[in-house]
Structure 1
């Protein structure tokens, strides 16, 4: 996937999540992705969380072993 902004293989949903959680990205078995954004965030924070999720997809972070090092590198 060269540009996750230009694909239909991504679903974006809003969910009432804990205040410490901004987004969650799920790599689906069919190669698509699901992005869940915290509905409690304001629109600006939701957009930042969405961009953060896109970076994980663009960087192919789902094939890396250590999630903590992935977050520190961002």
Structure 2
């Protein structure tokens, strides 16, 4: 299995987002991923948000249909 965490297929960006959103992960059509981290978070929360996003990628959560159960499982 190809591990996307060991490749350069993940772009990370910081964006000023609503305070209720810590991160967002997008599965791109070319097989890469985009992680957007809320720039309003402190450095510790940004790192936790980044790790949370990586878990979604590592767990192949984008192939699952029920996003609520994915979040509850994390």
In the superposition, the TM-score normalised over structure 2's length comes to 0.95
Aligned partner of 2:25 in structure 1 is 25
* Cα RMSD for the two superposed structures: 0.8
Task: State the aligned residue count.
Answer: 73
Gaps of at least 5 residues in structure 2 are none
Once residues 50 and 42 of structure 1 are traced to their aligned partners in structure 2, the CA distance between those partners, rounded to angstroms, is: 12
Q: TM-score, normalised by structure 1?
A: 0.95
Q: Tell me the SS of whatever aligns to 2:29.
A: coil
1:35 equivalent in alignment to 2:35: yes
Q: Any stretches of 5+ residues in structure 1 without a counterpart?
A: none
Per the alignment, residue 45 of structure 2 pairs with: 45
